[in-house]
Chain A
């Protein structure tokens, strides 16, 4: 521990010496911070207070939770200390040949409303909300909670900070503490520190906020009202119970807090929505709204704004980056400004970025022997800077089902091939990436992919092509067999399972692409949700019903086989007019219900909103 403290001192010394650095760092936000009172007009004061706090940590009596939080702060300081020294060394050796220190993302963090890349209207909206809440006396306005949603890197927290400094308010921030790893836990418990779950900590925090408001910090000189609470990251919840607790907790917060509070929820792209957390956040959003919180949704930042910001940075850094490149970076970032700035910095690190890039391109194109150089160039650029492209599941399915192919077979390509295929087996080249790549981009899991293909593929066949239908059905049956191989033994054969999953998805997709040699003329198709899932559900329901009725035969002296009950007793009893609970009719009713439900679920390839809801349902089933 002593060692650690030394390092902390060292890092704070750094801070004293290098003004520019310290201003950078005070803007940066270490993730492990538990609760930090930070005053924007005077960042250094708060910082210093905190450090002295951590120095006298051992002597000071504070709650357990705080203690842990501060301990993390120490870790964080150590980490930052390293970072700083690394940066210093870099500067000494003159690497990069620029006066770049620290990350540009931090360096060029917006400081005024004008610098924000977020759309003016949204900023105005948020600002107005805060102004109203801050100016008015209590109970005049409704809930004091604002929910801001938007994908990563659209400037949610930056907006709050800038607005706060504009209004002269202080931002108090809750960040979810870093998770305790097992070794750390062992270490802690030997040191007598008990573990509290992050959710517990959050609950305690919210409780405190509700009851006592914010604890006035020593450096607080502003009027009491001008404080903003920022909840940047909600604790992870696992399972229904924990999620329920979080919901309850947030509900209380929305209902009773007296401090203007902003809750930031990060949207995940629909491609990631198979993820549990993404679904939770979706649900939370709705829940918070229903509890009465205001909601502002931030859109991805427009290309123009990103370009403007990037060129501003370039000007300030005195780098000559062509407009073309900025354009590319902006395009590749997908509205994520943080990503765009980092890409720009990366791009500027190289002595001559343009040349190295083009060099890179020529080598790869040489290797690939691709004729279409321009497209290859594009691809390389986007791979260099951008986040990986993602596709929605339905977009990918649409690609597979529509089966777009080149109209002319490139005979030149055929000649190069080692072997010739019979006409029956040869197909025109695909108008898309390799199916596996598309699958990868869509984050598709084999099972749902196979189910969706199975449900929808017949619509895309031409009327006469029953042979094709068989080919596809056969491949899908192959895929199903592959998927079933290790059923119920997941834990032991994890590796093999993964390989099988990929193989099965590949077989299903390629089978569908190959089999559909006579696609029906292209027209609008709705992609349906697999009816199979409903069928499975209701057949499971019926099965439990039937299990209860298995004493029908043998005058209850012994159990009958299920198949016998379903195929013989049930129809027979219906004939005989015995009052059985649920014959074929009731089950058909069930199917009817499902059918109507199905209509609601019909999806449109273009309609993102609906796709999201159905995506959620994929997980539910």
Chain B
């Protein structure tokens, strides 16, 4: 078992990083009926951990007896019936799913499947009707239409079920949904908090941590706790005992992006642009999200860039990132950014060095 899972706090009481939120959630569930919830925050901040602990708080250990179901749903969409395949994870009291997996058919998932599940209320031992919890992941990736139908579902079935929504950015969730939920923002843990967690894990694993080593990992982790724990474990495999100057290896795709960045810096020509496109394709084939590629690429480029260009380059990165969201094929926009960067950088080089 990975350390991330092994040392994941199982109950709200055990949570260290967002202790305050955890206690509030506990009070909320024990004292009264809980409202719909929307958890949002950067990756690796502990949203899922909180949700799981919350479910356990609500339903006891049965919440952890989950089964995976891969089911094909027949959805009646006006003139024709659609077959939508979707993987769900369910216990007796809750169902978890990723509606955005259905792509542009996510609307039907939200309308039909959630409705279907909301109808089947569980009955507890005392014969009292309980309510079901639906956990929806990546709500920010849902299409606008799907979000609108989600809103209706939330109102119509609020007597039978509670929704727990989880996403990275609340700005991509419609106002209507946000106002119907209790919004819980989960901040990225600070580096000190990460260090604390890492040291705790080190102690439990019986490892010797040289001073500053945990801080090094925390710094590299970009304030993502999951990232930190994962690279901690990798370091353990790579080299033990730790040294304080140990190289924290980054992810392979990040190295690849760095390679692309240095390619771009070395030569600015259509030919090079074409080569860069090939490398970007490689990343896209491996399903690295294009937004993350662009962000990382900008980060790598900025590292090597003259200060006076930074502002302009950031502007164009933001510009093309926005268009990428509006557009359909990410490569068009990433490439436009790369071309723009090359063009800026080349004229800069000519101006400076002649």
Q: Is B259 located at the chain interface by the 8 A CB criterion? A: no
In the bound complex, do residue B270 and residue A591 qualify as a contact, i.e. CB atoms below 8 Å apart? Answer: no
Report the count of interface residues on B (CB-CB < 8 A): 73
Q: A365: which B residues are within 8 A, CB to CB? A: none
Looking at the complex, which one of A466, A473, A555, A556 makes contact with B269 (CB distance below 8 Å)?
A: A466
CB distance from A488 to the nearest CB of B (A): 4
In the bound complex, do residue A474 and residue B336 qualify as a contact, i.e. CB atoms below 8 Å apart? Answer: yes
Which residues 384-417 of A have a CB within 8 angstroms of B?
Answer: none
In the bound complex, do residue B336 and residue A473 qualify as a contact, i.e. CB atoms below 8 Å apart? Answer: yes
Looking at the complex, which one of A469, A590, A591 makes contact with B339 (CB distance below 8 Å)?
A: A469
Q: Is B219 located at the chain interface by the 8 A CB criterion? A: no
Residue of A nearest to B167 (CB): A561
In the bound complex, do residue B270 and residue A469 qualify as a contact, i.e. CB atoms below 8 Å apart? Answer: yes
Q: Is A304 located at the chain interface by the 8 A CB criterion? A: no
Q: Is B191 located at the chain interface by the 8 A CB criterion? A: no
In the bound complex, do residue B270 and residue A458 qualify as a contact, i.e. CB atoms below 8 Å apart? Answer: yes
CB distance from B319 to the nearest CB of A (A): 10
Among B147-155, B170-178, B325-333, the stretch in contact with A: B325-333
CB distance from A465 to the nearest CB of B (A): 7
Among A64-72, A120-128, A214-222, A478-486, the stretch in contact with B: A478-486
Q: Is B220 located at the chain interface by the 8 A CB criterion? A: no
Looking at the complex, which one of A535, A553, A556, A557 makes contact with B284 (CB distance below 8 Å)?
A: A535
Given contacts A480-B332, A567-B251, A557 and B342 within 8 Å (CB-CB): no
Q: Is B1 located at the chain interface by the 8 A CB criterion? A: yes
Looking at the complex, which one of A466, A559, A563, A569 makes contact with B289 (CB distance below 8 Å)?
A: A563
Q: A interface, by DSSP: helix, strand, loop or mixed?
A: helix
Among B21-29, B124-132, B197-205, B230-238, the stretch in contact with A: B230-238
Q: Is A467 located at the chain interface by the 8 A CB criterion? A: yes
Given contacts A469-B339, A481-B327, A458 and B274 within 8 Å (CB-CB): yes
Q: A536: which B residues are within 8 A, CB to CB? A: 329
Binary B-proximity of A510-532 (CB < 8 A = 1, otherwise 0): 00000000000000000000011
Q: Is B226 located at the chain interface by the 8 A CB criterion? A: yes
Q: Is A584 located at the chain interface by the 8 A CB criterion? A: yes
Binary A-proximity of B223-247 (CB < 8 A = 1, otherwise 0): 0001100110110011000000000
Q: A559: which B residues are within 8 A, CB to CB? A: 87, 89, 96-98, 137
In the bound complex, do residue A532 and residue B331 qualify as a contact, i.e. CB atoms below 8 Å apart? Answer: yes
Looking at the complex, which one of B52, B323, B331 makes contact with A557 (CB distance below 8 Å)?
A: B52
In the bound complex, do residue A531 and residue B5 qualify as a contact, i.e. CB atoms below 8 Å apart? Answer: no
Q: Is A165 located at the chain interface by the 8 A CB criterion? A: no
Among A55-63, A93-101, A537-545, the stretch in contact with B: A537-545
Which residues 558-574 of A have a CB within 8 angstroms of B?
Answer: 558-564, 566-569, 571-572, 574
Q: Is B41 located at the chain interface by the 8 A CB criterion? A: no
Looking at the complex, which one of A472, A532, A543, A557 makes contact with B281 (CB distance below 8 Å)?
A: A532
Looking at the complex, which one of B43, B231, B338 makes contact with A561 (CB distance below 8 Å)?
A: B43
In the bound complex, do residue B339 and residue A470 qualify as a contact, i.e. CB atoms below 8 Å apart? Answer: yes
In the bound complex, do residue A480 and residue B270 qualify as a contact, i.e. CB atoms below 8 Å apart? Answer: no
In the bound complex, do residue B252 and residue A466 qualify as a contact, i.e. CB atoms below 8 Å apart? Answer: no
In the bound complex, do residue B5 and residue A547 qualify as a contact, i.e. CB atoms below 8 Å apart? Answer: no
Q: A587: which B residues are within 8 A, CB to CB? A: 285-286
Q: B347: which A residues are within 8 A, CB to CB? A: 467
In the bound complex, do residue B289 and residue A481 qualify as a contact, i.e. CB atoms below 8 Å apart? Answer: no
Q: B323: which A residues are within 8 A, CB to CB? A: 477, 481
Q: Is A546 located at the chain interface by the 8 A CB criterion? A: yes
CA distance A483 to B135 in the complex (A): 33
In the bound complex, do residue A566 and residue B286 qualify as a contact, i.e. CB atoms below 8 Å apart? Answer: yes
Q: B342: which A residues are within 8 A, CB to CB? A: 466, 469-470
Beyond A458-B277, A467-B346, A576-B234, list 9 extra A-B contacts (CB 8 Å).
A451-B329, A473-B335, A476-B336, A477-B327, A488-B143, A532-B331, A539-B286, A551-B89, A568-B226
What are 23 A-B contacts defined by CB distance under 8 Å?
A463-B269, A463-B270, A470-B336, A470-B339, A470-B340, A473-B336, A474-B336, A479-B332, A480-B327, A480-B329, A531-B278, A532-B331, A550-B87, A554-B52, A559-B96, A559-B137, A563-B289, A564-B43, A566-B288, A567-B289, A575-B249, A584-B253, A591-B285
Residues of A at the B interface (CB closer than 8 Å) are: 450-451, 454, 458-459, 461-470, 472-474, 476-477, 479-481, 483-485, 487-489, 531-532, 535-536, 538-539, 542-543, 546-547, 550-551, 553-564, 566-569, 571-572, 574-577, 584, 587-588, 590-591
